[in-house]
A and B are shown apart, each in its own frame.
Chain A
Amino acid sequence: MSDSKAIFLKDATVNAADGDQRAFINKALGGYYTNRDLQKARYRDWERARDAASMAKWSAVNDLANVLEKFVGNFERNGGVVHWARDAEEARTIILKIAEDVKAKAIVKSKCMTTEEIHLNDALEKAGYGVVESDLGEFIQQLRGEAPYHFVFPCMHVKREAISALFTKHLGTAPTDSPEELTMIARRHLRQLYIDADIGITGANFLVAETGQISITENEGNARLTAALPRIHIALSGIEKVVNHLDDLSVLLPMLATAGAGQPMTCYNTLYSGPRKKGECDGPEEFHLVLMDNARTRILADPEQRDSLHCIRCGACLNVCPIFKNIGGLAYGTTYQGPIGSVITPHLRGLKQWNHLSGASSLCGACTDACPVRIDLHHHLLHNRRNAAKQSPTLFDLAFHHGFTFVIKRPWLFALGGRIFRATLPLLQKLPLPYMGAWMKTRDLPKAPAQSFRDQWKNQNV
């Protein structure tokens, strides 16, 4: 058993047994379901909108070289600088180099899962820079020294009392149980940090090839401030974020908001095309974009799962997933939680160590149903299971597969096996069966029928 699997099983078991925490998460998601359904009802045809969104991503991802080239040409024409990173280490090195070149001291960040993927904060802090997460949820998680619980709602598992205590400890503020007051504490604390920072780091939700703009979606205004006040703007993005046309956003932006958070539109959807232009009074002097592969081309090379690169990181699949709701986001031990995380993490970090996540699914298909860009999520979980069994089968896999193949090819043996199974079924009931413990704990085997199906078939007079 891989270490990551052992940790997963332990954490998942503990969390699933915590009824209080589960009730808290379910209550938090309750409001989301209501709002999402209200907003979806405003679409004159949600299914057609999903068609459009999935085709917008499909056509870009399946023509990635050309679309990316076009984007980069236009982005550079707008005055931005593009950097290329094959993997996480190259991305960190590039960003550290920029920070060194511009003699930065303080860095402010807006929420960006790609920076979580490459553990950028650790690298920057080790190099001596002060880094502050400005998204409220990420700010709280940074103070807690904990990874995000959910890639859209990073601290949805933390109760207000804990946040109040956290702020008292780190910021010296008076305790309060009002979410409003807690939000204002963070607002006051962060304002001066935006003004003093030399570098603002953001992610990107979409890269628009037609115009060379990057699109950033957020609710709080922290990304707007991060890209407005510091003198250097660095954005980190995966290469798969590109779309062909500016008009694609007229579908993708509202759907991202509705599927992800039950909003008509996220509060700020901002397109950036370069640093401060001639005649503009503010904005950064330099705009750097780091385009990172980090195993995305590995997913691209798998046509069966290529559509997982369509993901717009709305988080809808997490919000409806019975596994996520029961074990929570931290148990996954991944940057991307929930069904999409279970699908792509084996590509990012290795199938052998991470295929267990694809087993942690009821295959109910709620994720596939919720996905605004029609990623075939629950089938990909099955694909991962199959690929893992092919790549490094366990002894049980081998024995079962070969045994089954041997028996099914020989009808007389199959019939004999059935006879023996029917006869010994009452006995089996009492034996501790290997691999069946968890299942049998709450279930009984069914009673054996008097006749096999084959005998019944033979004896029927039709």
Chain B
Amino acid sequence: MSDARSDIFARIREALKVKAPKPHLKGDGAAGKTSTVAKPWLPDGGETAEDSLTILAEQLAKLKAVLIRVPDHASAAKAVAELSASKNWKKVAYHGHDLLRPVVAALTCETWEADTSFDKQRLEGCDAGITTCESIVAQLGSILVSSASSGGRALSILPHVHVVVAESSQIVPDLGAALALAKARHGDQMPSMLSFITGPSRTGDIERILVLGAHGPKELYLILIG
């Protein structure tokens, strides 16, 4: 008996001997190409940095994510400390990153650098997880995190609140730009997880009524520096 792999490939090759027509297209079909093709038909991500920031702020508001703009690193630390105090966080886990260490240093509650060990139970007991990100997509309000930028896979999903600290230079206009940037940065050594986060976790499974915090974070904060 031949193995399943060769059988399946034989079936595919046999099936594709007959060609199928192309779909009925409305435009010129400049599709399925590579990232060099601009996509002026998708939602707008803004032409200038200023446009992009405006679109991003609108998208985040609709998604019920909270955008906090601060002028510098010191005020980012202050903003997170205020958030922690107002929400009465007891334990906070964070990604060990130069951007985050001064932020965490300003917190008065218990803090833990989650990258140092894989302790699911401890992480579940944390009120908030603080991470950096790879990039921010203005077009859709998505934040791209990775296992490299966010202290692994669990830190950005298991704690009840997710705080992202980022610089405004990390904003890219659209999804294509974010994917191209990830490819350029990591090449064939991609982090084992790349995740576009678009607002706090949500579900509409009960009567199609929106509820935030289905399994992931109920609250998402983006602290944007500059």
- The yes or no answer to A179 lying at the interface (CB within 8 A) is yes
A41, closest chain B residue (CB): B43
Q: Which A residues lie within 8 Å of B205 (CB)?
A: 135-137, 140, 153-156, 183
Docked-complex contact B44 and A180, CB < 8 angstroms: no
- Assembly CA distance A224 to B121 (angstroms): 16
Docked-complex contact B14 and A280, CB < 8 angstroms: no
Q: Which A residues lie within 8 Å of B213 (CB)?
A: 183-184, 187
Docked-complex contact A160 and B206, CB < 8 angstroms: yes
- The yes or no answer to B157 lying at the interface (CB within 8 A) is yes
Q: Which A residues lie within 8 Å of B118 (CB)?
A: 281-282
Interface residues of B in 155-188 (CB under 8 A from A): 157-158, 174-176, 179-180, 183, 188
Rounded to whole Å, the gap between the CB of A214 and the closest CB of chain B is 11
> Which among A184, A247, A277, A307 is the interface contact of B147 at CB below 8 angstroms?
A277
Chain A window 100-144, contacts with chain B (Cβ cutoff 8 Å), 1 for yes, 0 for no? 000000000000000000000000000000000011110010000
Q: B151, B157, B205, B207: which has the most chain A beta carbons within 10 Å?
A: B205
> Which among A44, A90, A273 is the interface contact of B40 at CB below 8 angstroms?
A44
Docked-complex contact A85 and B214, CB < 8 angstroms: no
> Which among A137, A179, A220, A307 is the interface contact of B216 at CB below 8 angstroms?
A220
| Count of chain A to chain B residue pairs whose CB atoms are closer than 8 Å in the complex | 317
Rounded to whole Å, the gap between the CB of B61 and the closest CB of chain A is 12
Q: What secondary structure prevails in chain B residues at the interface with A?
A: loop
Docked-complex contact A52 and B16, CB < 8 angstroms: no
Q: Which A residues lie within 8 Å of B87 (CB)?
A: none
Docked-complex contact A56 and B31, CB < 8 angstroms: yes
Q: A137, A267, A275, A310: which has the most chain B beta carbons within 10 Å?
A: A267
Binding site for A on B (CB under 8 A): 3-5, 7-9, 11-16, 18-27, 29-35, 39-44, 59, 62-63, 114-118, 120-121, 124, 139-142, 147-148, 151-154, 157-158, 174-176, 179-180, 183, 188, 190-209, 211, 213-217
Given contacts A58-B20, A268-B157, A374-B24, list 12 more A-B pairs with CB under 8 A.
A45-B27, A85-B4, A156-B208, A195-B120, A225-B216, A239-B8, A245-B33, A264-B198, A267-B199, A268-B197, A280-B152, A282-B153
Provide a sorted-by-A list of 9 A–B residue pairs whose CB atoms are within 8 angstroms.
A47-B26, A154-B205, A156-B207, A183-B214, A220-B203, A247-B35, A264-B43, A267-B202, A303-B21
Binding site for B on A (CB under 8 A): 28-29, 31-32, 42-56, 58-59, 62-65, 68-69, 77-78, 84-86, 90, 134-137, 140, 153-156, 158-160, 163, 179-180, 182-184, 186-187, 190-191, 195, 211, 213, 219-222, 224-225, 227-229, 239, 244-251, 253-254, 261, 263-277, 280-283, 291, 293, 297, 300-301, 303-304, 306-307, 310, 373-374, 376
